[in-house]
Amino acid sequence: MKLYAYCFTEDGDAPSESLTGIGGSQVRVLKAEGFSVLVSNFSADTVPVNRHNVLAHSAVIQRVLAHTTPLPLRFGALAGEEQLRNYVSAKHEALQEKFDSIRGCIEMNVKLISQGAEVVAEPHLPEPADKPGTAFLVQKKREILGSETRIAEAKRLTVWLEQHVGDLIKEASIEQGRTEKLILAASHLLERGVLEQYRARLKAAREERPELHFLVSGPWAPYSFANIELEFKSQFGVS
Amino acid sequence: MSSPFDHLIITEGGEPVDEVELSLLETLDHVLNRGLVIAGEITISVADIDLVFLGLNVLLSSVETANEVLRKRAVDDERKSAVDETPHTQE
Amino acid sequence: MEFSPENPRPAEPEIETSHVEEFVEQLRCVTDSLPSRINIDAQSVEQGLAKLVLTLIEFIRRLLEKQAVRRMEGGDLSPEQIEELGLALMRLEAKLQELKAQFGLADEDLNLDLGPIGRLI
């Protein structure tokens, strides 16, 4: 019997209310060495990625978040009970450290769409119709220039955003130039108590830059700050 | 750039996009792309959909909706071929 | 856990924006890390290998393109050399498209999700 795992919480923090999870199953608490894992029974080998399941997963995490800050698992975590216990055992220290950093916190997201400055057009070159190779390179140049402009702007906006909310956040995870228009996607970890201040700062930032399109979402459980797979980092020397 | 959702969000042409859709996308961004990963194996699947046929990278919809798309396509294809043939009695 | 003004109960995640459609459009690519997770399981070994190889080639190809553009801008190439370089890169891009098609891989499939390292491309 496989279990679908939703999140970890510190012992004693798991909610006492009854929760319904994936496929209408009952969510229960598995206690393992000072941590709790929220799980529900799951019969198949894989979890279908569909609207219902995704929302069910999110809803469970969200209910827990109302009581305490959980360490959320990515969608689709299927494991046996033994496997889960082994995981907690093996990663005990890392889990403890992680909880130390996220305790009492929530995650907020800011996404920015920028219309961007128009890329400066090249002064001269008419499109040489009889020179397809050259035209190809000219087009590539336009594309490359465009993306470099975007990245530069993303960097500027990162700094600008940091100036507005930097002192309120514990940790930030930033994605620059994610798509052509989505120039910045920032995830912020902050203590619950400063949420209203944070929102007020973002409001001020919006007013300062009316040409930017903002999307602010949250509060979320700290999905963007959940990963503790350090082996990968040490192997490849990525900081 | 074509979107994986083009095939699945059935709008009868030009309906305004819902806040609900945006909320779903934001939720997806969190639960699918982030969160702690505890096992290396692939444990997710796309149910009942022929990926190759639809030519998509990823599908997100209830199974019902996707089947609706397939049914609608089958009907459209039938209609198209019916137009090409010499007309005969309706069914 | 006690709730107080300093520790408020968080509501359901709200989304606040005045540009719903625009963000929907941009966020539709959100799930593009999924295919590599599903496909790795479903693929044959050959396709997995092809994917790895083609990703590396694609990476190099893009570097070559950037370098070619820089040289073109730098002015140390004659018009004939520019034309030859452009044609060679065109052919390389076309060949790569062919190979991708042969293995049933889309552009997005070549963005291997390597976690902390992020995408190669």
**pLDDT digit string, tens, across residues A86-126:** 999 999 999 999 999 999 999 999 999 987 655 555 545 55
List the structure tokens of A213. 């399109």
- Name the minimum distance, in Å, from the CA of A178 to any CA of chain C: 9
Domain A105-220: which CATH class?
A: alpha beta
Minimum-distance CB partner of B32 among A45, A75, A228: A75
| The pLDDT value given to residue B29 | 86
Instruction: For residue C77, name the pLDDT band (cuts at 50, 70, 90).
Output: confident
Are A102 and A225 within 8 A, CB to CB? yes
- Name the minimum distance, in Å, from the CA of C6 to any CA of chain A: 5
User: Which span out of A52-61, A191-200, B18-27, B49-58 was modeled with the highest average pLDDT?
Assistant: A191-200
Tally C-beta pairs within 8 A across A and B.
97
Chain B residues whose C-beta sits inside 8 Å of any chain C C-beta: 1, 3-5, 16-19, 21-23, 25-29, 32-33, 41-42, 44-46, 52, 57-58, 60
The pair phi, psi for residue A65, each rounded to 5°, is -60, -25
Cβ–Cβ contact A181 with B under 8 A: no
| The pLDDT value given to residue B72 | 64
Residue C15 and residue B22: Cβ atoms within 8 Å? yes
Whether this model's ipTM surpasses 0.90 comes out as no
**Which of residues A122 and C55 earns the better pLDDT score?**
C55
* Best mutation target, A30, A37, A43, A49, to test chain B (most B CBs within 10 A): A49
Are C51 and C112 within 8 A, CB to CB? yes
CA A235 vs CA B29, B48, C50: distances in Å: 27, 39, 24
CA A17 to chain centre: 27
Mean predicted confidence (pLDDT) in B26-47: 80
| Mean pLDDT over each residue of chain B, to the nearest integer | 58
Minimum-distance CB partner of C27 among B26, B45, B57: B26
**Which of residues B67 and A212 earns the better pLDDT score?**
A212
Cβ–Cβ contact C104 with B under 8 A: yes
Residue C27 and residue B4: Cβ atoms within 8 Å? no
pTM for the structure as a whole: 0.69
Cβ–Cβ contact C30 with B under 8 A: yes
> H helices of chain A, where?
51-65, 81-90, 92-102, 132-165, 195-208, 230-236
In chain A, which residues have pLDDT < 50?
A: 123, 231-239
| The pLDDT value given to residue B28 | 85
B64, pLDDT greater than 80: no
Residue C20 and residue B22: Cβ atoms within 8 Å? yes
CA B16 to chain centre: 18
Interface of A with B in 127-156 (CB under 8 A): none
- Name the minimum distance, in Å, from the CA of A160 to any CA of chain B: 23
Say how far apart CA C110 and CA C46 lie, in whole Å.
Answer: 15
* Best mutation target, C23, C63, C66, C93, to test chain A (most A CBs within 10 A): C23
- Name the minimum distance, in Å, from the CA of C67 to any CA of chain A: 10
B91, pLDDT greater than 50: no
Domain(s) of CATH 3.30.70.100: residues in chain A: 105-220
Residues of C in contact with B58 (CB under 8 A): 31-32, 34-35, 38
Q: What is the DSSP string of C14-83?
A: EEEES-HHHHHHHHGGGGTTHHHHHHHHHS-HHHHHHHHHHHHHHHHHHHHHHHHHHHHHHT-S-HHHHH
Residue C28 and residue B4: Cβ atoms within 8 Å? yes
Q: List chains adjacent to chain C, taking adjacency as at least 3 C-beta pairs closer than 8 Å.
A: A, B
